[in-house]
Structure 1
Amino acid sequence: MTDTPTADRPAPDPLLAGLRDLAEPAPTTLTDRVVDGWVRAPSPLGEVYAVAGAGGVRLLRTAAHAGDLEVFLEEYRTRHGRPVRPATRPPRGLLPALRGTGGPPELDLTDVGDFARQVLAATARIPAGQVRPYGWVAREAGHPKAVRAVGTALARNPVPLLIPCHRVVRGDGGLGQYLSGAGDKATLLAGEGLDLDRVADLAAAGTRLIGSDTTGVVCFPSCHHARRITDAHRRGFASLDRARAAGYRPCRDCRP
C-alpha cells in the first residue's frame, strides 16, 4: 500500500525520505565500535596484553616486553587515536591461538600498510615447527628483492604469536632476532617441536636445503617432508641452484 496525499497528510518530503533511507539503527555494541578493549592472557612466553576493537585484535605484546601497563595503554591511545578500556572477555579465538590449538582470531590490520600486510600474510602461511628465510617471505609476498624491508616489517609486527614472525630466520640458517629477544624466538620454536641443535648444525655446515635421492625433491630442512628422509638417502645443498644442477626439483609444499 502506498501513501496517498490528503489534506491531513501532505506528500512526504523527498529529501527527508532519502535521509530516512540512509539512516541505520544504532548497533547494540556501539561502545565496542568506538572503544577498544584490552585483556591479559597466558601464552608460551608468559602473560601477554592484547588490545582488540570491533574488527579484531589490533595489538599484542608480552607483558615483559610491553613494560608498564599504563604506559603501554597510553602509547596505544596516542598511536591509534582511540580510547581503550578493560574488556569483559578475551576476543573469540585468542586463547586457543595462544595455546596452539586453533588458528588466529580475527585481526584488525587496518593501520598496517599494504606491503607489510603482504609480508604478514606470507608469514602466516608458515606451518608450526617450521622456519623460512626472509628471502622466502619476500618472494611469497611478491617482492623478491625487498628482503631488508621484510625484516623491518616483521620487526613491527603488531600481533606476534598470532602472526608467527618467530618462524622467519636468516638466510644463512641462523635464527636471527625477535621482537622480544632471540631467547623468546628459540623458546617458541622449540615448543613447536623444531630441533634447534640440528638447525644450528646445518647452518654451521652451510646446508640450506635437504634433498631425497629417492624422490629427487629438495626441501627446507624443517619441512615435514625433509624430516622423513633417512640418513642413507639424505643429500644436503647450499642453494637451490646447486640442487637443480644435481637434478633435484623444489618441494611443492615448502617451495624453497
Structure 2
Amino acid sequence: MTDSLLEDLRDLAEPAPATLAERVVDGWVRAESPLGEVYAVVGAGGVRLLRTATYAGDLDAFLEGYRARHGRPVRPAPRPPRGLLPALRGTGRSPAVDLTDVGDFARKVLDATARIPAGQVRPYGWVAREAGHPKAVRAVGTALARNPVPLLVPCHRVVRGDGDLGQYLSGRADKVALLEREGVDLPRLAELAASGTRLIGSDTTGIVCLPTCHHARRITAPHRQGFASTDRARAAGYRPCRDCRP
C-alpha cells in the first residue's frame, strides 16, 4: 500500500488520549503541502500554528518565536497529528485545530472561513456577515491576515468585495496557486469583476448565486443573468441561493 493510503487508514482510528507530556509540551512536525514544505506546531487540542517553510524562514528562529510568544516548550513530534496529511493533500477534512490563542471575534471569522467549500470563494463581507459582524469587513481582513493555521482554515478562499483576489499571508502568488489547484476559474472571475458582476442568476429558477457556487457553474449561457448586488437581483425577482447565501 502507498504511504498516503496507510495514512488515510490510520486516520480511521480514534486518536490516543494525550499524555501528560503532550499536555504541557507542544510538538512540531514537517509536512508536504501544495505550497511545499510546511511546519506545524501541535498541542493537545490540535494544530496551533502552521506556516510554509519559505514564509517561516529559519526553523530554529521560527520555533524560538513560538516559544517566546506562547510560553510553551516545543519539541519534535513522533508523527504528524491525525488528519493533517490528508487535509494538506486535499483528500480529507481538516484535523483538530486549537484556536484558543485568538480572540472571540477572530475565532468566529475563522469558523466562518472554514465553511467555504473547496473550489469556491467568498468576499470579506460574506465572512463578516456569517461571523455575526456584518459591518466589520476591515477587521475580518485583519483577522485572516493573522490566521494561525492557513491551508487548514482556508483563508485563500476569501476575496475582496470588488472581485479582486486580494492578498494572502505568504503572498498573492500562493493564493493564486491554491485556487487554481482547487479548480477556480480565475480568468472568468477577473472578467466578471471587470464588468461589475458580483452575482449570477438563473432565469429558469429565479435564484441568484455567488459566481463560484456549484449551482452557478451549472447555469447555461442562455439562462445566465448577471447582477451587481443582491438588491438589484431581488428587484428583478430573484431570491438568494440557500447554499452560498450571497
User: What interval of TM-score do these two structures reach, taking the shorter chain for normalisation?
Assistant: over 0.9
Matched residue of 2:36: which SS? coil
Q: 1:205 aligns with which of 191, 195, 201?
A: 195
Q: Structure 1 residue 30: deviation in Å?
A: 1.3
Does 2:98 correspond to 1:108? yes
Matched residue of 2:33: which SS? coil
Q: How many residue pairs were aligned?
A: 230
Q: 2:87 aligns with which of 59, 82, 97?
A: 97
Q: Structure 1 residue 28: deviation in Å?
A: 7.3
Q: Do the aligned residues in 1 keep the contact of 2:18 with 2:44 (CA within 8 Å)?
A: no
Matched residue of 2:201: which SS? strand
2:206 aligns to what?
Answer: 216
Q: 2:162 aligns with which of 141, 163, 172?
A: 172
Aligned equivalents of 2:189, 2:98: Cα separation in 1: 34
Give the structure-1-normalised TM-score. Answer: 0.89
Gaps of 5+ in 1: 1-26
Aligned equivalents of 2:65, 2:32: Cα separation in 1: 22
2:220 aligns to what?
Answer: 230
Q: Structure 1 residue 61: deviation in Å?
A: 0.2
2:10 aligns to what?
Answer: none
Q: 1:43 aligns with which of 33, 55, 73?
A: 33
Aligned equivalents of 2:228, 2:98: Cα separation in 1: 39
1:72 aligns to what?
Answer: 62
Aligned equivalents of 1:52, 1:209: Cα separation in 2: 40
Aligned equivalents of 1:161, 1:120: Cα separation in 2: 12
Gaps of 5+ in 2: 1-16
Aligned equivalents of 2:45, 2:109: Cα separation in 1: 20
2:119 aligns to what?
Answer: 129
Aligned equivalents of 2:39, 2:189: Cα separation in 1: 31
Aligned equivalents of 1:86, 1:182: Cα separation in 2: 31
Does 2:228 correspond to 1:251? no
1:89-112 Cα shifts (integer Å, max 9, x gaps): 000000000011111101111111
Q: Structure 1 residue 154: deviation in Å?
A: 0.3
AA matched with 1:165: C
Does 2:80 correspond to 1:85? no
1:197-234 Cα shifts (integer Å, max 9, x gaps): 10111111110000000000000000000000000000
Aligned equivalents of 1:143, 1:103: Cα separation in 2: 27
RMSD of equivalent CA atoms: 0.9
Identity %: 83
Q: 2:133 aligns with which of 115, 128, 143?
A: 143
Aligned equivalents of 2:210, 2:37: Cα separation in 1: 32
Does 2:182 correspond to 1:192? yes
Q: Structure 1 residue 29: deviation in Å?
A: 1.5
Does 2:142 correspond to 1:152? yes
Give the structure-2-normalised TM-score. Answer: 0.92
Aligned equivalents of 2:105, 2:160: Cα separation in 1: 20
